[in-house]
Amino acid sequence: MLAYLAVKALSFKARAFERATADPIVFQKKILFEYLGRNKKTEFGLHYGFEKIRSVVEYQSSVPMSDCETMRPYIARMAEGQA
């Protein structure tokens, strides 16, 4: 029984993975807009207008490339307990 449940769980994950890899551009756009939606009211999201972004091109032109140093002030404030 346990083996049957494990196979069922893994087959669900395998099907989800196969769907995602069937058309990776569509899947990546979906994930991007999920992230933008979740973060549109954050300080970073408000600063870069996540709420107004409607395409990948708009995202690319609105949000600059970032690295750890760019994110350091946001991370430091979160580490101090700020939302």
Question: What does the pLDDT look like over 32-52, one tens digit per residue?
Answer: 999 999 999 999 999 999 999
Question: What does the pLDDT look like over 49-67, one tens digit per residue?
Answer: 999 999 999 999 999 999 9
**What pTM, to 2 d.p., does this model score?**
0.71
Band (pLDDT 50/70/90 cuts) for residue 7 is low
CA distance 47 to 62: 10
> What is the residue type of 4?
Y
Predicted local confidence at residue 60, as pLDDT:
97
Give whole-number Cα distances, 79 to 54, 68, 73, in Å. Answer: 31, 15, 10
CA distance 7 to 23: 25
